[in-house]
Amino acid sequence: MHSLKNELVNKASQLGFDRIKFMQVRQLELWDEEIKVRRQLDPDTARYWEERRLTASYASVMEDGRTFIVASYQYAPYRFEESSGKGYFNAHYAAYPKGRQAMQELAAILIESGFAAVVDPPLPIKQIAYLSGIGCFGKNGLIHNETNGSLMTLHLILTNAPLPVDVPNESCITDCGSCARCIHSCPTGAISNNGRVILSKCLRYHMLSPGIIPRDIREKMGSRMLGCEDCQACCPKNRARFQETVEPEVQIFDIMEILISHSSLKALMERIGKLVGKNYARAQRILSMAAIAAGNSGNPAYVEPLSRLIYHPHPQIRAHSAWAIGKIGGASARAVLEAALTKEDDPRVREELQYALARLEL
């Protein structure tokens, strides 16, 4: 088993993982408690937790599971200029599929050796990462360590291989001390004083959601299309990493391009899917986010494409477009909104149109 572990460690390093830990499986009893607290604190997001179907029981995933293998895949944060006409996306989303693919390669070694291995099983990975010694919890709810800060994606294998384990970390659950920068930097006040993130207030939770995003959240989204890292950029653990920002490999969210080519986004979805995974390449949701980013830019050039989107078949796109036109304002905004109101049947969109019209009076 020592030689198999060594092979995994060496391969992990070649694949770009900077840290890998082996831990004996255990029940994650604290997780069930945590979920109860989160549901009570934030009932609007109870369904989200149900849909994720995370379990505290490794045995429900693999009855004869013996070892958790946790690995961290670091990435450099992206450089971003608000005025570029591009929608912001966080480097995490481009790194995650690469880390997952690399973890599949590690799992293949176990499978070739005759063991079972499940990559990214539905277990609370952050808790396992903390227990295994990958890092500590920050008050922003993320795992960080002295090498990567929190700029890493975390990946997990559950296997029945009885591999030698590393010394677990059960002492320091957090090393934030009296720091509270992330709490104060969060644009929506989503991080509570005890370091719990209130999901319904977190911008990331609402991104690419299928419904109409609450107005107060839209207002704070700026040009973010995928991800928010305000609570990481301010963190002292990430200071050095944010001094080395890099250009994104490709720019996937050109706001004007998305708004103009709204009826033929297939090629763009393929590009997005290749970079960040198909799960995020959903045309209607991206269009919906682009309308919000356009509104937040205040750029009058977006009113013309938005005035066509205000008749889109999907109500959330109509609602966000109405809001965006009302926010940008300008000479044609009133006529566009009034004309749309005469044809709109959906009460939620009508309310957005009325709100947008009222906003023009301010």
Binding site for ligand SF4 (CB under 6 A): 138-140, 176, 179-182, 186-188, 190-191, 197, 202-204, 228, 230-231, 234-237
The amino acid at residue 57 is S
Q: First CA to last CA across the chain, in angstroms?
A: 70
Q: Of the two residues 37 and 358, which places its CB atom closer to ligand SF4 in the complex?
A: 37
Q: Of the two residues 92 and 312, which places its CB atom closer to ligand SF4 in the complex?
A: 92
Q: Of the two residues 175 and 254, which places its CB atom closer to ligand SF4 in the complex?
A: 175
Q: Are 45 and 105 in contact (CB under 8 A)?
A: no
Find all residues with CB under 8 Å of 141, minimum gap 6, and list them.
126, 191, 195, 196, 197
| 252 C-beta neighbours (distance < 10 Å), count | 26
CB of 181 to ligand SF4, least distance (A): 4
Torsions phi, psi for 145 (to 5 deg):
-145, 175
The amino acid at residue 143 is I
Q: Of the two residues 41 and 59, which places its CB atom closer to ligand SF4 in the complex?
A: 41
CB of 186 to ligand SF4, least distance (A): 3
Cβ-proximal residue to ligand SF4, closest one:
138
CB of 91 to ligand SF4, least distance (A): 14
Q: State how far the Cα of 319 lies from the Cα of 286, in Å rounded to an integer.
A: 14
Q: Of the two residues 122 and 189, which places its CB atom closer to ligand SF4 in the complex?
A: 189
Instruction: Tell me the two tokens of residue 71.
Output: 């690995």
CB of 100 to ligand SF4, least distance (A): 21
Q: Of the two residues 103 and 186, which places its CB atom closer to ligand SF4 in the complex?
A: 186
297-332: b (≥16 Cβ within 10 Å) or e: bebeebbebbbebbebeebbbbbbbbbbbbbbbeee
Q: State how far the Cα of 239 lies from the Cα of 310, in Å rounded to an integer.
A: 42
Instruction: Tell me the two tokens of residue 45.
Output: 């997001």
CB of 132 to ligand SF4, least distance (A): 19
Q: Of the two residues 181 and 271, which places its CB atom closer to ligand SF4 in the complex?
A: 181
CA triple 337-83-220, angle to 5 deg: 60
CB of 149 to ligand SF4, least distance (A): 8
The amino acid at residue 66 is R
CB of 222 to ligand SF4, least distance (A): 11
H/E element holding 125? helix 125-132
